[in-house]
């Protein structure tokens, strides 16, 4: 298994609305439907309560990094 390192990225305060145009520190929010929510969405059911959750990524200047909370900062 690959080891991971904790990177510090200062947030810019901007939310990107596209994965393809972003600046260093931008946050991108996106939806991740669970199996039932994805099935309902594909069937175009009229339901405003699709099940699932949101994820966020932060742009480090080269690629998007998954935003994770609760990690202990490096000393």
Is 25 domain-assigned?
yes
Encode burial over 11-42: b for 16+ CB neighbours within 10 A, e otherwise: eeeeebeeeeebeeebbbeeeeeeeebeebee
Domain holding 53, by residue range, is 15-66
Whole-model pTM? 0.62
Question: How many structural domains does the chain have?
Answer: 1
pLDDT in tens, the chain (75 residues): 566 666 678 888 888 888 888 889 899 988 777 776 666 666 666 656 666 778 889 998 888 998 876 666 666
Is 75 domain-assigned?
no
């Amino acid at each position: 298994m690959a080891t991971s390192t904790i990177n510090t990225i200062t947030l810019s305060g901007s939310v990107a609305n596209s994965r393809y145009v972003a600046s260093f520190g931008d946050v991108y929010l996106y939806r991740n439907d669970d199996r039932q929510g994805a099935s309902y969405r594909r069937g175009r059911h009229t339901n405003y309560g699709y099940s699932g959750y949101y994820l966020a990524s932060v742009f480090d200047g080269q690629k998007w990094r998954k935003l994770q909370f609760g990690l202990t900062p490096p000393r």
